[in-house]
C-alpha cells in the first residue's frame, strides 16, 4: 500500500529518537509555548516583587520559584512530546486514576489557604492541586473510551465517559471549584462533538449544564456572589475586578512603561489570576495581542494537523487537549476584562504557580506528541480495509 505523511518524510529505520522528534514536531507550536513561558518570567519580574516585599521575602523569591516550576514544566513537556500515542494513552490513564484518587482525599487532607475552597494539599515548602493534573488525564480517558465505542462490538464508551464526567464534576463542585468543573464539562463536550454527537444531544446537555448553574447559584453563596458581582452594572473600584479594569484602561495601546504600573501593588493575585492586567498596564494592548496570538497559534495549528489524522483516538484526544488549553487562557483573560464571572483560573505558562505550570507542560506535551507527523494510510486504503 502507498503511504503518505502530512508535512514530513516517512520515518527512516534506525533514525535516532531526537532526530525523529525534531523532524516531526510542530516547531511553530513549540516556539509559541517557549515564548509564552518567557513572557511569564518577564511579567513575573514586575508582578511578584510587590507580593514578595509585603511578605518579607527576597524581591525575586516568586520569580525564582517560577523559573524552577517552569523548568520542570518544560522538561515534562519535552519528555511527554517524545512519546507515541499508545504511551500518551497509558500515561493519561495512570495520571487520571492517581489525580482522581487525590481529589477524593482532598476533603480529609486538603487545605484552602484561606481562600474558602479546599483545592490543595500543602507540603509546607510547596502545594499540590490535583484538579490541574486531572484535566489532561480526563481528556485522554474520555477520548480513549469514545474512540473504542466507534469500533465494531466496542464498549459503550460515550455512556461510561458521561458517568465519569458527572462523578468528577461532583467532586470538583464540593470544593467548590466551578471553574475547573466547567473546563471538564467543556472538554467532554468537545470530544463528544468531534466523535459525531447529534446536535440534539449537545443542546440537551447544554440545557442540563444551565440547569446545574441555576442550582449552584441557589446552593452556593460563593458561586452566587461571583455571579452577582459579574451581573452588577457597577464595579467596586476597590475590588480585584475594579483594580484590573482600571489597569487595563490605563495601559492603553502602548502601556505606561516597564515597571511603572501600579496595579501590582494593590492586587493580591496580580501574579496569578490577573497577570494579564499587569501586562496590559505596563506594556499595553500590543503585548496582550501578542499573547493572544501565541495561544491562537498553538490551538489553530494543532487543529489543522489533527484534521489530517486517521487515528480516532489521536484526533479526539488532540482536539480535547487543544481546546481546554485555549479555553483556559480565554477564561482567564475574559475575567480580567469582565467578559466572564471570576473563576480563579490561571493563564497557562504565564501565571505564577507550581501545579498549574507543570500540568500545563504535561497537557501541551501530550498535544505535541499527538500532533507529530506520522505515516498515514491513504484514506482510500483505510475505507477498502474496513469494507473487507
Q: What is the pLDDT of residues 303-351, one digit of tens each?
A: 999 998 889 999 999 999 999 999 999 998 888 887 777 777 889 999 8
Tell me the H-state helices in the chain: 17-24, 27-54, 61-81, 85-109, 130-149, 157-173, 178-194, 199-219, 221-231, 240-251, 275-307, 312-336, 355-370, 379-387
| CA 373/CA 283 separation, integer angstroms | 37
Determine how many CB atoms are found less than 10 A away from the CB of residue 149. Answer: 17
Cell 490577573, located at residue: 274
Tell me: pLDDT of 380 over 60: no
| Least confident range of 153-162, 260-269, 368-377 | 260-269
Q: According to the model, what pLDDT value does residue 239 have?
A: 67
Using alpha carbons only, give the angle 11, 16, 19 rounded to the nearest 5 degrees.
75
Is the previous residue joined to 15 through a cis bond, with omega within 30 degrees of 0?
A: no
Cell 452556593, located at residue: 220
Tell me: pLDDT of 78 over 90: yes
Residue 8 banded pLDDT, cuts 50, 70, 90: very low
Q: Nearest 10 degrees: CA dihedral of 273, 131, 137, 352?
A: 30
| CA 333/CA 212 separation, integer angstroms | 24
pLDDT above 90 coverage of the chain, percent: 37
DSSP state of 120: B
Extract the C-alpha cell encoding 60. Answer: 525575586
> What is the bridge-based pairing of β-strands 375-377 and 127-128?
unpaired
Q: According to the model, what pLDDT value does residue 382 have?
A: 45
| CA 378/CA 8 separation, integer angstroms | 15
Whether the CB-CB separation of 113 and 121 falls below 8 Å is answered with: no
| CA 110/CA 228 separation, integer angstroms | 28
| Least confident range of 147-161, 176-190, 263-277 | 263-277
231-281 per-position pLDDT tens digit: 666 665 566 777 787 788 888 888 888 777 777 777 777 777 888 888 888
Extract the C-alpha cell encoding 19. Answer: 532526530
Q: According to the model, what pLDDT value does residue 9 have?
A: 47
Largest CA distance in the chain: 72
Whether the CB-CB separation of 227 and 341 falls below 8 Å is answered with: yes
| CA 165/CA 155 separation, integer angstroms | 17
Q: Residues 279-297, buried b or exposed e (16+ Cβ, 10 A)?
A: bbbbbbeebbeebeebbeb
| CA 348/CA 277 separation, integer angstroms | 15
Tell me: pLDDT of 32 over 60: yes
| Least confident range of 147-161, 201-215, 266-280, 294-308 | 201-215
Is the previous residue joined to 5 through a cis bond, with omega within 30 degrees of 0?
A: no
Q: According to the model, what pLDDT value does residue 221 have?
A: 65
Q: According to the model, what pLDDT value does residue 223 have?
A: 64
Q: Which residue has the higher pLDDT, 241 or 25?
A: 25
Residue 27 banded pLDDT, cuts 50, 70, 90: very high
Whether the CB-CB separation of 268 and 274 falls below 8 Å is answered with: no
Amino acid at each position: 500500500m502507498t503511504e503518505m505523511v502530512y508535512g514530513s518524510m516517512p520515518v527512516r529505520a534506525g533514525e535516532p529518537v531526537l532526530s525523529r522528534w525534531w523532524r516531526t514536531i510542530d516547531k511553530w507550536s513549540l516556539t509559541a509555548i517557549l515564548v509564552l513561558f518567557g513572557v511569564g518570567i518577564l511579567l513575573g519580574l514586575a508582578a511578584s516583587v510587590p507580593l514578595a516585599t509585603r511578605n518579607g521575602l527576597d524581591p525575586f523569591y516568586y520569580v525564582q520559584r517560577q523559573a524552577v516550576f517552569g523548568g520542570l514544566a518544560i522538561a515534562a513537556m519535552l519528555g511527554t512530546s517524545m512519546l507515541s500515542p499508545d504511551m500518551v494513552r497509558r500515561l493519561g490513564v495512570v495520571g487520571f486514576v492517581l489525580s482522581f484518587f487525590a481529589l477524593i482525599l482532598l476533603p480529609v487532607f486538603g487545605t484552602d489557604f484561606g481562600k474558602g475552597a479546599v483545592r490543595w494539599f500543602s507540603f509546607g515548602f510547596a502545594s499540590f492541586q490535583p484538579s490541574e493534573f486531572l484535566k489532561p488525564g480526563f481528556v485522554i480517558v474520555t477520548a480513549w473510551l469514545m474512540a473504542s465505542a466507534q469500533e465494531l462490538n466496542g464498549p459503550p464508551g460515550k455512556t461510561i465517559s458521561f458517568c465519569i464526567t458527572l462523578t468528577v464534576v461532583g467532586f470538583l463542585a464540593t470544593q467548590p471549584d466551578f471553574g475547573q468543573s466547567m473546563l471538564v464539562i467543556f472538554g467532554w463536550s468537545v470530544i463528544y462533538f468531534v466523535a459525531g454527537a447529534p446536535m440534539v444531544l449537545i443542546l440537551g446537555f447544554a440545557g442540563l449544564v444551565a440547569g446545574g448553574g441555576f442550582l449552584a447559584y441557589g446552593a452556593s453563596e460563593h458561586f452566587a456572589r461571583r455571579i452577582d458581582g459579574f451581573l452588577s452594572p457597577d464595579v467596586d473600584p476597590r475590588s480585584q475586578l475594579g483594580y484590573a479594569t482600571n489597569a487595563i484602561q490605563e495601559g492603553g495601546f502602548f502601556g505606561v512603561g516597564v515597571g511603572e504600573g501600579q496595579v501590582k501593588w494593590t492586587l493580591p493575585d496580580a501574579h496569578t489570576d490577573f497577570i494579564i492586567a499587569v501586562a496590559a498596564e505596563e506594556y499595553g494592548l500590543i503585548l496582550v495581542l501578542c499573547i493572544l496570538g501565541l495561544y491562537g497559534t498553538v490551538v489553530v495549528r494543532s487543529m489543522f494537523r489533527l484534521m489530517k489524522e486517521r487515528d480516532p483516538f489521536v484526533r479526539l484526544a488532540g482536539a480535547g487537549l487543544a481546546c481546554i488549553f485555549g479555553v483556559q487562557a480565554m477564561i482567564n483573560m475574559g475575567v480580567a476584562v469582565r467578559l466572564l464571572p471570576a473563576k480563579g483560573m490561571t493563564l497557562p505558562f504565564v501565571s505564577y504557580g507550581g501545579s498549574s505550570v507543570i500540568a500545563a507542560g504535561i497537557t501541551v506535551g501530550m498535544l505535541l506528541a499527538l500532533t507529530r507527523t506520522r505515516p498515514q494510510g491513504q484514506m482510500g486504503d483505510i475505507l477498502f480495509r474496513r469494507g473487507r
